[in-house]
Amino acid sequence: MTVVVVTGAGSGIGRATACRFARKGATVVVSDINEETGPETVDLIKAKGGDAVFRRLDVADVDEWEDFTAWVCSEFGVPDIVVNNAGILIGGGFLEQSGDDWRRMIQINLMSPILGSRFFVQRMAEAGARGHIVNVASAGAFLPVAIGPSYVTAKAGVWFATQALRSEFGGHGIGVSVICPGFIRTNLAANGTKGGASVEDSSIWAANLAAGQRFLFRSPERVAAAIERAVRFNLSTVPVGVEAWLVWFLSRLAPGVVRGASSLVQMQFVDRAVEATGKVLGGSR
């Protein structure tokens, strides 16, 4: 029996990944902080004959990570695959984002995949078990834009931490991969916030951004397929989408070009585009 753990599996990439592995015959541990959407993913899997169970997890809480890891290993044994996918979005410029914004972003988008990797790799190593860790980062890891500095900082950290983990445990039968999606249709924007904005303005901004994400971006199934491929072939870095591959290659071949292009993307231009998109596609005003 293959056991797969997926965090942030209540929607988007996490849900698509959980459903994909369940279709392949795996038992999936669906984890999410949302106690409504997480069980919904389990119901979707079971409705199609799959095997899944929900367990609430706040990925920002170290103690919950320890309890969650112990519970998974007690109930199912050391898992074969762990997908650290949970994440948040906070927009706004470097100074617009408060210290609390930065701390929350780093805790959830950077520290949670590090903690998930650490706790489960430790169990794999102690048991002498083969397994695979997949951390979901972003094409933003290679793009130092001014419109979400805490986000790209955290995702760059995820990419580098994953490489360090792979270099240490890759020779011990433990596969390690990082997935770097481009524009994907998820609830990330809808649940996001904007630094330096009032609660009302932040909600409007998130709704307008979500309208574009909902209609213009590609399916999370593309990322789920990339995750499965990364596990099958033990791939190191897997961009998803033409724009993600482009940024990945340019960041290697011409980092100065990427930095120059990134400096052209300023928050005021993005705000106008987000507002226009919301008006056209049905966001808030």
What's residue 249's pLDDT? Answer: 94
CB-CB contact of 237 with 178 (8 Å): yes
Domains, the chain, in order of start with CATH, read 3-281 (3.40.50.720)
Q: What is the pLDDT of residues 2-54, one digit of tens each?
A: 999 999 999 999 999 999 999 999 999 999 999 999 999 999 999 999 999 99
Q: What percent of the chain has pLDDT over 70?
A: 81
Q: Return the half-sphere exposure (C-beta side, CA atoms, 13 A cut-off) of residue 224.
A: 25
The string of pLDDT tens digits covering residues 239-281 is: 999 999 999 999 999 888 877 777 765 555 444 544 444 444 5
For residue 185, what are the CA distances in angstroms to 99, 181, 188, 214, 268? 29, 11, 8, 5, 23
Annotated catalytic residue: which of 120, 151, 169, 205?
151
Q: Is pLDDT of 85 > 90?
A: yes
Instruction: Tally Cβ neighbours within 10 Å of residue 260.
Output: 10
Indicate if 148 belongs to the active site.
no
d(CA 98, CA 195): 7
Q: What is the pLDDT of residues 147-165, one digit of tens each?
A: 789 999 999 999 999 999 9
